A and B are shown apart, each in its own frame.
Chain A
Amino acid sequence: MAAVQGGLVDADEDKDIKTEASNDSWGNNNANDGRLLSPSPGSSASAGSNKSAAGASEEQQTLLAVLQFLRKNKLTESVEILRREAGLPEDSLEPKGAESSGAGSGGASGGVDLEGGDASSLLSRVTASSTAGAQAPTKGPIQSAAWLTDKLSHHSASCPTAKLTHSAGEDQPDVNVVLSAYSQQGDPALYEVYYSGLKRFIESVLDCHRAELSQVFYPLFVHMYLELVYNNHESEAKAFFEKFSGDQECYYEDDLRVLSSLTKKEHMRGNETLLDFRTSKFVLRISRDSYQLLKRHLQERQNNQIWNIIQEHLYIDIFDGMPRSKSQIDAMSGSLAGEAKREANKAKVYYGLLKEPEIELPLDDEDEEAENEEGKPKKKKPKKDSLGSKSKKQDPNAPSQNRIPLPELKDSDKLDKIMYMKEATKRIRLGPDNLPSICFYSFLNAYQGLTAVDFTDDSSLIAGGFADSTVRVWSVTPKKLRKVKSAADLNLIDKESDDVLERIMDEKTASESKILCGHSGPVYGISFSPDRNYLLSSSEDGTVRLWSLQTFTCLVGYKGHNYPVWDTQFSPHGYYFVSGGHDRVARLWATDHYQPLRMFSGHLADVTCTRFHPNSNYVATGSSDRTIRLWDVLNGNCVRIFTGHKGPIHALAFSPNGKFLASGATDGRVLLWDIGHGLMVGELKGHTDTIYSLRFSRDGEILASGSMDNTVRLWDATKAFDDLETDDFTAATGHIHLQDNSQELLLGTYMTKSTPVIHLHFTRRNLLLAAGAYNP
């Protein structure tokens, strides 16, 4: 049996190490450290498989100690089982018996008795015996010998049953069924001791390490609390929570609130947030020095409890170099699952813009075009706008034109492009000395019911989504909204006439606004198609609906999200759209498919907002797990994870050149991200409430943000991005030094009259439109 069991364990162990190693360079290290950590139980498994003499005797001594303990507690039955299983002679429990058995580990000595039986039967036996052994201690008062039970548990953890379940997958609750039966049974009181011990240690280390090591507190705290709760130590869990919850960083308060309400094992079932916390590893980024310190401490103290949690539930991303400062850490932390792994942001992102299709311009526009060409060099940043893009070469960072199949341009689209260019020539160049005018559209009598707003790109239409399930479309130009005539009437018109497009419209239906009814719940997301023919709306009822703006009827209801859909947006090239909702998945759709083309899953909580990259090749999603992810539309991979927000993200905006991303959250901060490098590059503080809207000006010089605090703020985006020091070191380590220059970058604050700003839009001439519902 020795061979069989040992082999099994060994193989598993090796596999584990291998997978870890492939994950990060530190995996190997870790495994080795584990071995060094004897006589820690975690290591006992590997020690056993090591078959070193020392390890074997160690193992046996442990076993003997356990047996002695059991006997002392009159648990003769389990002693018997354990002894028989381990193959120890009767007398081995005598003091001198420690040396009597020449065999190595329990498994090994078992092998002496049973020569190479078949593995499966053995397995079942071991399972049975170990469970029996596990249940036995529950009968006795064991508090005093916590460490012993610890050994016991880890002894059995090294046996195949545990191993199998463990490798069976990340289904933590199941693992817990096994683990909880052993490990944390007897020692709830010691959790506090462990935690405060670690706290004392971290408080006593050098300042430079303290900030880094403090990161460990929060995940440890949560896991220890959950373990206590899971093992039905309700009062201890409460005491633990009360004692240490105050130490946690303030930005975790929301999660702590969730935690605090959870005091029963039964509650853990069905609580997705916690399940996520258990299943996904909390990622920490720690410098090698700090990590060594922590490791050494835990070894010295033989603080297995903590060490286990660190190994099981934490992913420690070790880097070489200077430990990070408190502010650096704070800038990046705050998400539900810790920071992003460095590897997660290494993939190449083609953030450049697609080449604009060549369009023949009417002759009289050439002059203006030329003028603009001259004006172009003044701008610092290369713009890949439609303007003058003809002459530009392909951007090296741009994806190939057909990386994603995009719809062909129709004639009407070309006309629109020409209009766009004409408008663009009249565009105001914005800057700190030339701020945009803001036109505010107030929704009156909305009675708190306005939930979403969108403008068409040419600013001719406004759509509002309401809590009463309706969608309303307004025309803000003198041109009224008209329906297409009914089929019978359409038959009557002269199809050959020049103004056939005009004739198909039913003049009788002309009105300034239209109501679209169809949803059965509040409408949370709304988006116009670039060609203004369609409108998307996503709702609490779990559907996304596509509406025709010609007939003002619903064309398709896309069902896929079974839960509320928080946001949806059309691709800038039309045809595709993305939606994200409470089911934590973002879906990519094409308007002519009733099923999604891609599912972007990875967020640990609701997907709260979705945005397309200007080149349509990427999708950014913000989530309640306080991370932003960038997804590749081509293959559905997650190519960027941005952490740093301290609250659910409610607004995202790509800069017009596609290089940067701005995000706004309930914490009232706007964060700026460099997509290419995968770095945070700026923080704009000033808002006092949730930011619901972000928008870059057409040339990317100004970033406008609109918030629940009834203000529109304008920020100097040029300066924010120009001041970047993206030297190689920063890019390589991902350590950012953010200057606190929000005040310098803030160009203006405009209070509205008790009207939260929920949408912003720059017209083609750089006039800023804002919208919100007046709440008297």
Chain B
Amino acid sequence: MAEERRQKQCSVILPTESMKAMAESVGVGQLQEESCVAISEEVSYRIKEIAQDALKFMHHGKRRKLTTSDIDNALKLKNVEPLYGFQSQEFIPFRFASGGGRELHFYEEREVDLSDIINTPLPRVPLDVSLKAHWLSIEGVQPAIPENPPPAPKEQQKAESTEPLKVAKPGQEEEAAIQGKSQGATAADGKGKEKGLIRLKPRSTHELSVEQQLYYKEITEACVGSCEAKRAEALQSIATDPGLYQMLPRFSTFISEGVRVNVVQNNLALLIYLMRMVKALMDNPTLYLEKYLHELIPAVVTCIVSKQLCLRPDVDNHWALRDFAARLMAQSCKTFSTTTNNIQSRITKTFTKSWLDDKTQWTTRYGCIAGLAELGPDVIKTLILPRLTVEGARIKAVMEGPVVSNIDKIGADHVQSLLLKHCASVIAKIRPQPDNVEQYRTDYGYLGPMLCSHVMKARTQAALQAQQVNRTTLTITQPRPTLSVSQSGLSGSTGPRTPSIIKVPSSLTLMSPRPGTPSQPSPPATKYIVMATSAGTATTQQVITLSSSQSASPVTSTVPSATSTLQPLVKLESGSGPGLTGSRPLQKYIVVSLPSSASSSLEILPCLVQLKTQGLFGLNVKG
């Protein structure tokens, strides 16, 4: 491979067209082909030379990233006037344009109105350089403090789990890669001596220091306590603290035991709190939950399908808990499901089985359907849609038959709205227009007419969104944004191999005002950067749109169809703000989609689901 690269090195020169274009730009027309070749060779060589010198400056600047100033310095070294105007620290703002078979990268120089500049308020002054000391190691042991990286390298946790993760958790790929590089790091952990010839799987001990025990006590008490502000803080800590590895088994047991007890006691509030803890644990990028799924998943599933979750099923809103837990389940399916553990198929089977059972109560039935529906449109299409007729008949029996019990009626009502909500958007995708009520009735039975109206609403909603996309910047002021991927028009189904891109109008920012609840600790600032690359010309488009939950029919996440070649990689980056001291940790989501031919598995979902749940549960998104 190195050889290939070298060969490339040898032959790479700038295309002569570039020379022509540049010549034209300075007023030299009719450049001969030979001169172009000669010039391009010379220019290529000089560019390489300058790049090599610039690298020197990068190395001495003790950076990994080559900046424009390095190039300037390299030019100065050669006694060449530096390039002025390229001062960007982060990226070089080249824009790309193509047309008429020509491709062009250009530097956009906008005309700026001086009065605009004068009138715009000054940007914030960048923070001054400051110095902060912390203990990297105390007599050879690295303390688990936020300033240090998580004490247990993820690689070590990974090695302990049987199957290496195929789908890395959002935000972990990068760190895992770094960990992987510093293989020696793990070997040298502790005294660095334990590497013998015989490889024994080390027994993992989870000793908690006194501080950690106190922390555990505080956190768990806050999580299930009565003070909401404390709880938010505790959950925030669970979701971001890098040093929780040692406490993970305890947390896991706490949650599973807690669910066990509180289901029996029908304590809805506590169950909700525990589910939020699960959510926080899953949000923590430094934890590998794989080893504790056997405890967490049953707890979550319990909260989805349990017959009774609260003391007064007719009054309490246990449906919300089921919805939330179902989303958690879906998220963990996406994140942790591998070919070995088969979480998703096992879960699907479990849900389907109890759903198909006639004796199943409405509550459980609701849970099963919610659990399945959250798994995505494919599952809805294959498992839920065919059973709509049967389910409709059952609902009809309760709604229109003799009143058996109020509870049954409420249950049936909820199941009905759940089905409508989830199925409508899917049907809108797969069913061609026009929507005929009679047709729907024959296809879906009792639920048909209602579905029809929902589908029509969904269609208008989609059209609205398509319009919204045309705006370059979406500013969403509702505090509860939902992020959904929808396919505009008939796209996606046009062909099995159509490359698709996530098209985002040049910049996409999510804005929401500061949360209305001042009692909450400052929420993490979240930034979404959605980048998309695609090969060839895109014929279909998948659009990431942002819709608020206030819209007529909330559009749930619709992922590209299985035939799509899109395999997005979702990377979640989270870290503290610009400084270690940053009080408001900044969370960054980078969604990169790459066209690939292999599988239709969509890693984009966890992120989306995550966003949604985050929105629902009080965490606000701030651009």
Contacts and interface: CB of A to CB of B under 8 A. Distances in A.
Interface stretch (B62-70, B255-263, B338-346, B601-609): B62-70
Interface stretch (B126-134, B448-456, B532-540, B553-561): B126-134
A442 B45 contact: no
Interface stretch (A95-103, A257-265, A379-387): A257-265
Interface stretch (A212-220, A330-338, A460-468): A460-468
Interface in A435-480: 435-452, 462, 464, 466-467, 472, 474, 476
A563 interface: yes
Given A437-B135, A448-B63, A746-B184, A564 B128 contact: no
B149 A242 contact: no
A566 B77 CA distance: 13
A241 B6 CA distance: 9
Contacts of B135: 437-440
B129 A466 contact: yes
Nearest to B185: A749
Interface in A547-561: none
Contact of B130 (A432, A444, A476, A751): A444
Given A263-B45, A692-B62, A522 B576 contact: no
Contacts of B3: 245-246
A472 B131 CA distance: 11
Interface stretch (A178-186, A203-211, A501-509, A704-712): A704-712
Contacts of A250: 2
A444 B182 contact: no
B140 A540 contact: no
B136 A438 contact: yes
A448 B578 CA distance: 11
B102 interface: no
- Residue among A258, A441, A466, A774 with the highest chain B CB neighbour number at 10 A: A774
A690 interface: yes
A82 to B, nearest CB: 37
B166 interface: no
A466 B135 CA distance: 24
Interface string A404-446: 0000000000000000000000000000101111111111111
A271 interface: yes
Contact of A748 (B2, B7, B57, B137): B137
Interface string B149-181: 100010000000000000000000000001001
Contacts of B575: 754, 776
B170 to A, nearest CB: 17
A375 B64 CA distance: 46
Contacts of B142: 750-751
Contact of A445 (B77, B130, B148): B130
Nearest to B46: A267
B158 to A, nearest CB: 16
A743 interface: yes
A709 B182 contact: yes
Contacts, number: 209
Contacts of B65: 448
Given A245-B3, A441-B133, A747 B140 contact: yes
Contacts of B356: none
Contacts of A774: 579-580
A464 B61 CA distance: 12
A752 interface: yes
A441 B41 contact: no
Interface residues of A, number: 87
B49 A271 contact: yes
Interface stretch (B111-119, B188-196, B424-432): B188-196
B48 interface: yes
Nearest to A693: B62
B32 interface: no
B9 A260 contact: yes
Nearest to B190: A748
Interface string A221-263: 0000000000000000010011001100010010011101111
A435 B579 contact: no
Contact of B134 (A242, A263, A439, A710): A439
A750 B151 CA distance: 10
* Interface SS of chain B: mixed
B412 to A, nearest CB: 52
A608 interface: yes
Contacts of A708: 62, 64
A746 B60 CA distance: 27
Contacts of A677: none
A624 B134 CA distance: 34
A439 B61 contact: no
Contact of A437 (B2, B45, B139): B139
Contacts of B129: 443-446, 449-450, 464, 466, 472
B52 interface: yes
A585 interface: no
A650 interface: yes
Nearest to A247: B3
A198 interface: no
B445 to A, nearest CB: 56
A606 B185 contact: no
B581 interface: yes
A406 B136 CA distance: 38
A743 B59 contact: no
Contact of B132 (A271, A438, A444): A444
Nearest to B128: A445
A753 B187 contact: no
Given A522-B73, A749-B185, A743 B192 contact: yes
Given A444-B129, A770-B136, A776-B576, A709 B181 contact: yes
B131 A743 contact: no
A315 B182 CA distance: 40
A747 B56 contact: no
B1 to A, nearest CB: 10
B11 A261 contact: no
B199 to A, nearest CB: 15
B77 A564 contact: yes
A163 to B, nearest CB: 34
A688 B136 contact: no
Interface in B581-606: 581, 586
A524 interface: yes
Nearest to B183: A688
B150 to A, nearest CB: 9
A522 B130 CA distance: 18
A474 B139 CA distance: 26
Given A442-B134, A448-B65, A686 B184 contact: yes
Which among A258, A267, A467, A608 has the highest number of chain B CB atoms within 10 Å?
Answer: A467
A751 B148 contact: yes
Q: Which 9 residue pairs across A and B have the least CB separation, nearest first?
A: A435-B140, A246-B3, A444-B579, A261-B48, A440-B136, A438-B136, A438-B137, A445-B127, A749-B188
8 contacts: A447-B126, A464-B129, A606-B56, A708-B62, A747-B140, A748-B140, A753-B149, A753-B580
Given A748-B140, A750-B142, 14 more contacts: A246-B3, A256-B6, A263-B45, A437-B135, A442-B131, A522-B61, A540-B73, A686-B188, A748-B192, A751-B148, A753-B149, A776-B575, A776-B576, A776-B586
